[in-house]
Structure 1
Amino acid sequence: MKPLLIELRHNRMLWLLVLVPVVLLAAEIIPDAHTLLFLLSVLAIVPLAALLSHATESVAERTGDAVGGLLNATLGNLTELVIAIAALHAGQYTLVKGSVAGAIVTNALFMLGASFLVGGLKYHVQEYNRASARLNAGLLLLAAVALVSPSAIARTDFAAGAVMTQKLSAGLAVLLIVGYGLGLLFSLKTHREIFAGAEQAEADELSWPIGLALGTLAVVTLLVALVSEIFVESVQEAAKVLGMSPAFVGFVVVALVGGAAEMTVALSAARKNRLDLSVGIALGSAVQIALFVGPVLVLLSYVVGPTPMDLQFWPGAVVMVFVATLVAAFITNGGRSAWFIGALLILVYAVFAMTLYVLPPKGQ
């Protein structure tokens, strides 16, 4: 417990953890104060994500950058998954789809760009494994094609009804999960020597024991689930007051808040010149959202949701995911980065966020 207490004392962001019991208590006392609950839940999720990031980084210290990036992406995506399941149960499918598309774009553009920018401000030029970046870009392209198919067919073939779209989405979800599994088998087993990154740095003196890290992960995940339920219940009314559409909330707010944990680790790794880890977290997380989390949510909707969810996104989301995939593939093809490349990626993301805020999807 001593390392945890040291982290709580020195990391001022973790002082916001006091908001976790506050928001849980406020939800019981003033359940109709939706805007206040929305803001409190967002602020409460941020320190939980930061605590999650330190725990995952401590676990990842005992692995190489390739496995460490996958581990951080997987555990970091717990926040998005828990929020999405809560929204799925509430039937807020626009919020779920927005969070899935937003997480893909945020990780592929904002997180990757921020890592390049932060690392580039300290180092003139940084290098990373091109093979790993190319694999993730290829998997992202698979996901983009799968997202295009239901939307394109629904708009060109008038015979394709909602039932057929749901069947197609369920089949595509299974194919995407299979593709993700094959990608892991290829990179971690059959051709792992190709994807080996730079040697990992020595373990940080402040890294936690494995038992403490895993225990923290379990407790934080439970707290995130409780706060996420309040977030989902309040977000719809709060969004109207704040002038945000459900699509914007899912695409930008949920994606940024949910990705805070892995983003913290990615930026920290970039500052330590461990760009293989940063790129692995950013692109690996985008791939995992696209090929695993999104498809799992589609299949879970048959059990958790009021009706089955499909993979038919609004046209703007499909375009943004497709463009983000192409931009990430083009940028990471060289295996080198500098601060200006990161700034460009962040600007592309800002264009998408601003467009979605000013021009929400039809009906919102």
Structure 2
Amino acid sequence: MLNWLLIFLPIAVYLEFSHGNPTWIFIASMIAILPLAGIMGRATEELAIRAGSTVGGLLNATFGNATELIIAFFALKAGKLEVVKASITGSILGNILLVLGLAVFLGGLKHKTQVFSQKNAGILTSLLTLSVLGLLIPAVFDLASVNFANFAQPADLDFRLSVAVAVVLILIYLGNVYFSLVTHKDLLSGHEEEGHEVAKWSVPKALGILLASTVAVGFMSEFLVGSLEEASQSLGLSEFFVGIILIPIIGNAAEHASAVVFAMKNKMDLAVTIAIGSTIQVALLVAPLLVLLGLAVGQKMDLVLHNPLELVAVVAGIVIANSIAKDGESNWLEGLMLLGVYVLLAFAFFYFPTVSAAAH
């Protein structure tokens, strides 16, 4: 559906290598990532259908947030650590409030009241709560070390703690994969049997397209990050706003569409699983991987969120996700409220004054 936007791929390449206006490079590369993310999602789905439910589920989990991980990696490599951390927070909020909100709202307009498995949603929200709280521990540690222990320079300790937290979260993620695909795969068997899909692409074709689109996303991400500073100034946007709102929306475009489509088909179990499951992937896999990848590229990235607005927003997101999932039912008004909260936060992040990390 968005494949016509691929025209922006050669446009971005031309602008980059002809040293064009950074703002146009930023816009062109950002738009080009949208269809590329969709193509990566389609190729992964084709491989998943052929590989069977167990390996397929692992593939979907692994590549679910690949686009955003690639964008964040190039930002990390460029030393834009606050942008990377903002994109992690933005992805968590975007999945819980925007993706789930759109799915519940549009699905509710069509089907009035929709139901989903309380048991499955309960497992997901419990894991979500634990994983996101794990991400918040470094921020609480930083706050306590400065205000209660009177330790003036906690940066090195913040980093060491973040590395330890990253390792633990990845281990929990691996445990979650084993739980979902081996010991308790019957919990998801109902979802897997709903489609009876037939693969339309051969394995070599799917692998080739997945590889090509991943490489293309890598180039577009490098262009995007390289032009970020000048473009954000030209557009009147802070890098923080770009990281917390724009990058997550672009990076997760394919998942956004999938959740909404399933909700409108009255398959709310799948929509909820996509929205909350993707958030869990960000907290347990993407964020920890970025900390460890930072070691490889010489960037000491910690998981400390210095902005109190981010902390409040993430905690609010957890509370909202649990309240939506607890009764196993949803309607369009709940979706509208989720979207309303997201828009309010977007305005707050837009107007939030830019504070350099050095000021901390």
Above 0.5 in TM-score?
Answer: yes
Which amino acid in structure 2 is aligned with residue 95 of structure 1?
Answer: V
C-alpha separation between the residues in 1 aligned to 2:24 and 2:128? 37
By how many angstroms is 1:240 displaced?
1.2
By how many angstroms is 1:67 displaced?
8.0
Most deviating of 278-287 and 44-53: 44-53
Structure-2 change in CA distance of 1:349 and 1:71 (3 Å) = farther
By how many angstroms is 1:234 displaced?
0.5
Structure-2 change in CA distance of 1:210 and 1:348 (3 Å) = farther
C-alpha separation between the residues in 1 aligned to 2:57 and 2:275? 8
C-alpha separation between the residues in 2 aligned to 1:191 and 1:97? 33
Partner of 1:15: 4
Matches within 5 A, 1:183-332: 183-198=176-191, 199-203=193-197, 207-305=200-298, 307-314=299-306, 315-332=308-325
C-alpha separation between the residues in 2 aligned to 1:214 and 1:277? 25
CA contact (8 A) 2:90 2:248 kept: yes
CA contact (8 A) 2:135 2:283 kept: no
By how many angstroms is 1:183 displaced?
1.9
Deviations 1:311-336 (A, max 9, x none): 11122212211111111111112222
C-alpha separation between the residues in 2 aligned to 1:300 and 1:74? 16
Structure-2 change in CA distance of 1:79 and 1:113 (3 Å) = same
Of residues 341, 346, 352, the one that matches 2:334 is 341
Alignment RMSD:
2.3
C-alpha separation between the residues in 2 aligned to 1:178 and 1:94? 25
Which amino acid in structure 2 is aligned with residue 200 of structure 1?
Answer: E
Which amino acid in structure 1 is aligned with residue 275 of structure 2?
Answer: A
Q: Which runs of 5+ in 2 are unaligned?
A: none
CA contact (8 A) 2:159 2:301 kept: yes
Partner of 1:129: 117
Most deviating of 329-338 and 265-274: 265-274
Q: TM-score, normalised by structure 1?
A: 0.89
Most deviating of 220-229 and 139-148: 139-148
Deviations 1:111-150 (A, max 9, x none): 1111112222222322222223222222222233223222
Which amino acid in structure 1 is aligned with residue 239 of structure 2?
Answer: P
CA contact (8 A) 1:58 1:213 kept: yes
Find the residue that maps to 2:186 and give its secondary structure.
Answer: coil
Which amino acid in structure 2 is aligned with residue 170 of structure 1?
Answer: V
Which amino acid in structure 1 is aligned with residue 263 of structure 2?
Answer: A
Most deviating of 153-162 and 311-320: 153-162
Partner of 1:8: none
Structure-2 change in CA distance of 1:345 and 1:70 (3 Å) = farther
C-alpha separation between the residues in 2 aligned to 1:62 and 1:268? 22
Which amino acid in structure 1 is aligned with residue 139 of structure 2?
Answer: S
Partner of 2:42: 54
How many residues get paired? Answer: 350
Which amino acid in structure 1 is aligned with residue 71 of structure 2?
Answer: I
By how many angstroms is 1:96 displaced?
0.4
Partner of 2:27: 39
By how many angstroms is 1:73 displaced?
4.8
C-alpha separation between the residues in 2 aligned to 1:183 and 1:130? 18
Q: TM-score, normalised by structure 2?
A: 0.90
Partner of 1:114: 102
Q: Which runs of 5+ in 1 are unaligned?
A: 1-10
Of residues 75, 79, 102, the one that matches 1:87 is 75
Partner of 1:138: 126
C-alpha separation between the residues in 1 aligned to 2:279 and 2:241? 18
Structure-2 change in CA distance of 1:129 and 1:67 (3 Å) = farther
Deviations 1:205-246 (A, max 9, x none): x94444433322111111000100000000111111112111
Structure-2 change in CA distance of 1:54 and 1:260 (3 Å) = same
Work out the percentage of aligned pairs sharing the same amino acid.
38
Partner of 1:7: none
C-alpha separation between the residues in 1 aligned to 2:56 and 2:331? 23
Which amino acid in structure 2 is aligned with residue 15 of structure 1?
Answer: W
Of residues 22, 25, 29, the one that matches 2:14 is 25
C-alpha separation between the residues in 1 aligned to 2:194 and 2:60? 15
By how many angstroms is 1:360 displaced?
3.8
By how many angstroms is 1:348 displaced?
1.2
Most deviating of 90-99 and 135-144: 135-144
